[in-house]
């Protein structure tokens, strides 16, 4: 089967990701941007921006629209889907989004800052019955009992996917206004408290009961970078980068809030440009090396 292939995959469609995309595209490299449904919620919430050169008292929403227009003019493709897993494969990466695979040579992580409050037991049981990607690991639970904790409506797609293959699905939505959930799904309107089990998940403790489960999926709006790409070096809660914005993993660059303070637009846009150009140089070097061989 043929998967879509890109020179540079950009993860995140905030100021950092879009700035990277512009620079990669201008250097004639094939790219795609993956992002949340709205690019970006953080930028649109900034009421008056007075520290971004040339744009006195601009609102974040005005800038957001200008950014999107800019990338549209350059023909840059934005896929409004979350990236769930990255698998390094030597000189390339296989990447999964909503169960679909794509391949790329370099990656720019521009995923913003995230401070997920892990549930007690979650980190210890990750990969031992607990997962973040239902379309990746769901088939392991064919005919079994699984739980899903959803932090936004986005999780409903995963719930319905699991409803078709698991024996029983219990859904704990942590947001208002439930959408279209299949009838076979049991909806529990309780807050999760902790995950129980030592070598393997055994149960989820909620405010009202203890639910015995074979598997549990926790679907947040974003995936923490170190879970997206195991082995990624994190320092003081931010992705470690050098001056070229290279991470500790060959071919992976990072930009914007995810690399640490100051959490500012100008830094995000500047770093996006550097990370994009560094990714382009990396791809060029690899191509040259392949031609020599
Ligand atoms: C209320 C408020 C006011 C602010 N005011 C100012 C100001 O006046 N001046 C200033 O300079 N800055 C201000 N900021 C900060 C500024 O908005 C941020 O620094 C900037 O948005 C960071 O850009 P970013 O691209 O790094 O991250 P973000 O804008 O957070 O974008 C990250 C993107 O990555 C996406 N993403 C994350 N994980 C994944 C994944 N696994 N797959 C696909 N996509 C993913 C998210 O959906 C999001 O769209 C303000 C912020 C807020 C919240």
- Concatenated DSSP letters for 186-236? EE----EEEEE-SSS--EEEESS-EEE-SEEEEE-SS--HHHHSTT--EET
| 233 and 95 within one domain | yes
Whether 158 and 99 have beta carbons less than 8 Å apart is answered as no
Of 190, 219, 248, the one marking the end of a domain is 219
| 21 and 137 within one domain | no
| 242 and 281 within one domain | yes
Pocket test for ligand 1, best of 10, 19, 22, 60 (most atoms within 8 A of CB): 60
| 99 and 21 within one domain | yes
Widest Cα–Cα separation across the chain: 65
| 177 and 189 within one domain | yes
| 77 and 33 within one domain | yes
Q: What is the DSSP letter of 258?
A: G
Q: Can you list the alpha helix ranges (DSSP code H) found in the chain? A: 15-26, 41-45, 60-73, 122-125, 134-137, 155-163, 225-228, 265-292
- From first to last of its 293 residues, the chain has per-residue pLDDT tens of 789 999 999 999 999 999 999 999 999 999 999 998 788 888 988 888 999 999 999 999 999 999 999 999 999 999 999 999 999 999 999 999 988 999 999 999 999 987 678 899 998 998 899 988 887 788 899 999 999 999 888 899 899 999 999 999 999 999 988 998 999 999 998 999 999 999 999 999 999 999 999 999 998 877 889 889 999 999 988 999 999 999 999 999 999 999 998 989 999 999 999 999 999 999 999 999 876 65
Of 193, 219, 245, the one marking the end of a domain is 219
Q: What is the distance in A from the centroid of ligand 1 to the CA of 154?
A: 19
- Atom 34 of ligand 1 has which residue's CA nearest to it? 12
| 67 and 166 within one domain | no
Residues 260, 261, 264, 268, CA torsion sign: negative
Q: From the CA of 81, give the closest atom in ligand 1.
A: 43
What six digits make up the tokens of 245? 């914005």
Q: What is the distance in A from the centroid of ligand 1 to the CA of 27?
A: 25
| 92 and 30 within one domain | yes
Of 180, 204, 219, the one marking the end of a domain is 219
Whether 114 and 260 have beta carbons less than 8 Å apart is answered as no
Q: What is the distance in A from the centroid of ligand 1 to the CA of 266?
A: 11
Q: pTM for the full model?
A: 0.83
- Atom 33 of ligand 1 has which residue's CA nearest to it? 12
For the chain, give me the number of helices (H) and strands (E)?
A: 8, 17
| 88 and 36 within one domain | yes
In total, how many domains does the chain have?
A: 2
Q: What is the distance in A from the centroid of ligand 1 to the CA of 256?
A: 8
| 227 and 107 within one domain | yes
- Atom 1 of ligand 1 has which residue's CA nearest to it? 46
| 102 and 21 within one domain | yes
Q: What is the distance in A from the centroid of ligand 1 to the CA of 237?
A: 16
Other CB atoms within 10 Å distance of the CB of residue 177: 6
Q: What is the CATH number of the domain that holds 200?
A: 3.50.50.60
| 193 and 53 within one domain | no
Domain that holds residue 148: 122-219
Return the closest-CA partner of residue 31 out of 11, 15, 1, 14.
11
CA distances from 165 to 131, 140, 186 (A): 16, 9, 15
């Amino acid at each position: 089967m043929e998967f879509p292939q890109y020179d540079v995959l950009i993860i995140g469609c905030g100021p950092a990701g879009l700035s990277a995309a512009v620079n990669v595209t201008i250097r004639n490299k094939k790219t795609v941007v993956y992002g949340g449904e709205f690019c970006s919620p953080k930028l649109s919430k900034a009421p008056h921006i007075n520290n971004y050169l040339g744009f006195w008292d601009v609102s974040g929403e005005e800038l957001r629209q200008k950014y999107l227009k800019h990338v549209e003019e350059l023909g840059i493709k934005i896929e409004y889907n979350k990236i769930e897993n990255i698998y390094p494969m030597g000189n390339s990466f296989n990447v999964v989004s909503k169960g679909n695979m794509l391949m790329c040579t370099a990656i720019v992580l521009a995923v913003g800052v995230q401070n997920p409050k892990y549930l007690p037991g979650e980190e210890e049981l990750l990969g031992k019955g607990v997962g973040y990607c239902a379309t990746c690991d769901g088939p392991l639970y064919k005919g079994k009992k699984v739980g899903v904790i959803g932090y936004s409506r986005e999780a409903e797609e995963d719930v319905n996917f699991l409803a078709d293959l698991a024996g029983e699905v219990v859904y704990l939505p942590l947001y208002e206004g439930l959408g279209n959930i299949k009838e076979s799904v049991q909806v529990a309107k309780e807050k999760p408290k902790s995950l129980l089990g030592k070598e393997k998940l055994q149960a989820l403790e909620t405010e009202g009961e203890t639910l015995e489960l074979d598997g549990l999926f926790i679907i947040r709006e974003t995936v923490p970078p170190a879970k997206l790409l195991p082995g990624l070096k994190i320092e003081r809660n931010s992705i470690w980068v050098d001056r070229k914005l290279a991470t500790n993993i060959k071919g992976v660059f990072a930009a914007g809030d995810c690399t640490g303070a100051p959490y500012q637009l100008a830094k995000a846009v500047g770093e996006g440009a550097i990370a994009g150009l560094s990714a382009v140089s990396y791809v060029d070097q690899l191509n040259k090396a392949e031609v020599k061989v």
